Structure 1
Amino acid sequence: MRSSLLSKSFIFLPRKPLSPVCKFASMSKIAPPKTRLRGVVFDMDGTLTVPVIDFAAMYRAVLGEHEYKRIKAENPSGIDILHHIESWSPDKQRRAYQAIADYERQGLDRLQIMPGAAELYGFLDSKKIRRGLITRNVKEAVDLFHQRFGITFSPALSREFRPYKPDPAPLLHICSMWQVQPSEVMMVGDSLKDDVACGKGAGAFTCLLDETGRYSPTDFEKLDLKPDFTVSSLTEVYSLLESNFDLTP
């Protein structure tokens, strides 16, 4: 009987303490891999170029003072003038587009590149990251921007491409041409309701350029739109990209 019990007994050896290296490895967390970024798409007016168009005066010229005040009160986040006039009669639309074009041409005469923009283009080129452009301005403005500053975006979609922002269609079109997923692209712009909405709708990352502190968390809640990143200048985009994304060519 004794030999039988001994044959079935278990021997427990003392557990060796973890070495300092093993302790560290067991306690530390492995950082998740960064998302690869393959393209950045920019808005133009107020993002790549200094804002020069007096939009309030433009809206008054198109809508009339009384209608402008009424629509502004109903849309405190901003008036979408292009969508608003789509339901007008052809003659009324033609006059509205002419008034808008007049203000845009005045802006072209004062066109200036946004501080930090040229350096950001160079940084993206050095990382072989594609850059595109989506604007609700006309093709003439995009062509002048390319010619004046010697920087080309491809594709560069103006409002002649329908549907325009905030519809995600133009951003999805660029992703298709680049043959990349929207989740590998970032949309950068100064408008919450146009640029961020376009990026979110497409499934891309979004970066809101807010130079003056125009937007607050309340605005994000009202429109149910919260950008993934917010910067006050284009120079902040460098560190944002390097800290949060895999920029391997």
Structure 2
Amino acid sequence: MANLTTTASATHRPRLKGVVFDMDGTLTVPVIDFAAMYKAVLGDDEYRRIKAESPSGIDILHHIENWSPERQQKAYETIADHERRGLDRLQIMPGATELCGFLDSKNIRRGLITRNVKAAVDLFHERFGMTFCPALSREFRPYKPDPAPLLHICSAWEVLPGEVMMVGDSLKDDVVCGKQAGAFTCLLDETGRYDFPEYANVNLKPDFKVSSLTEVYSLLNDRFDLAP
């Protein structure tokens, strides 16, 4: 994993034709209390057990896939309720608007992959006046960390995964999705939580790590060929 401050030694810089973003916690300020949501779905004891087994994070959507239809429906309703409450407090992440303007100025495509629902994506587009295309929500299956959504976007853009960067705040979802697809990956870690020892031995690590979206400007300029 390379930090933004590391200077590239190679003279050849890879061509970048598109950037795909996560939404919650990446393009928007984190507003969902995921721990509370997981506890509401799983119960306190099950939450603690799964969290101890999965230090990189709980994949709640995959976890409930094999539940009975009735129990699964109740879980989806609980998740949707927490997400709706988050929408009321939706805020754009600092630096997101400027970064998207920069990408537009370089004719670099921008897409979006989220495990949130389409209604949340539609509200994001409407509220902040920016559009990502394609913008894949939870209704697209399989969802992150499966590489299928990112490969779908690459196919729609008619570009190779190695010409695309995935930017997100989740090691287990965004980075794994990007790495498995063969794309570059950039982990947004505002608080430094991924510097803790439990994340040191994960199998798939990001190519780059930044603490804010504003740092992505330098990363793109220093490491990639952005010529149209």
Structure 2: runs of 5+ lacking an equivalent: 1-8
Partner residue, 2:223 = 244
CA distance in 1, matches of 2:12, 2:196: 29
Pick from 186, 194, 202: which aligns with 1:215? 194
- Is the Cα–Cα contact under 8 Å of residues 220 and 226 in structure 1 kept in the other structure? no
What do residues 15-56 of structure 1 show as CA deviations (whole Å, max 9, x unaligned)?
A: xxxxxxxxxxxxxxx953211100000000000000000001
- Could you tell me which of 123, 127, 138 is aligned with 2:106? 127
Whole-Å separation in 2 of the counterparts to 1:217 and 1:153: 33
**Contact 2:55–2:198 at 8 Å: present in 1 too?**
no
Paired with 1:188 and 1:103, the residues of 2 have a C-alpha distance of: 24
Does residue 185 (structure 1) correspond to residue 164 (structure 2)? The answer is yes
Per-residue CA deviations over 1:202-236 (Å, capped at 9, x if unaligned) read: 00000000000010274454321211110000000
Q: Is this contact kept in 1: 2:168–2:188, CA < 8 A?
A: yes
Written as runs of structure 1 = structure 2, the 5 A alignment for 1:93-242 is: 93-216=72-195, 218-242=197-221
Alpha-carbon spacing, 1:219–1:195, altered in 2? closer, same or farther (3 Å): farther
The aligned counterpart of 1:22 is: none
Alignment deviations for residues 146-179 of structure 1 (CA, whole Å, 9 cap, x no partner): 0000000000000110000000000000000000
Query: Which of 50, 61, 81 is the matching residue for 2:60?
Result: 81
2:130 aligned counterpart, secondary structure: coil
Instruction: Please give the secondary structure, in 2, of the residue aligned with 1:188.
Output: strand
Does 1:63 find its partner at 2:42? yes
Contact 1:120/1:235, CA 8 A, preserved across alignment: yes
Q: Secondary structure at the match of 1:119?
A: helix
The Cα shift of 1:75 comes to 1.3
**Letter aligned with residue 115 of structure 1:** P
Radius of gyration: which is bigger?
Answer: 1
Q: Which amino acid counterpart does residue 204 of structure 1 have in structure 2?
A: A
% identical equivalent positions: 79
If the length of structure 1 is used for normalisation, what is the TM-score?
0.86
Closer/same/farther in 2, CA of residues 151 and 96 from structure 1, 3 Å limit = same
* Aligned residue pair count: 220
Structure of greater relative contact order (alpha carbons < 8 Å, 6+ residues apart): 2
In 1: Cα distance, 2:15 partner to 2:46 partner: 47
Give the structure 2 partner of residue 42 of structure 1.
21
* 1:15 matched residue in structure 2: none
RMSD: 1.2
Say if 1:120 and 1:160 are closer, same or farther in 2 by CA, change over 3 A: same
- List 4+ stretches of structure 1 deviating above 3 A: 217-221
Q: Distance in 1 between matches of 2:209 and 2:196?
A: 11
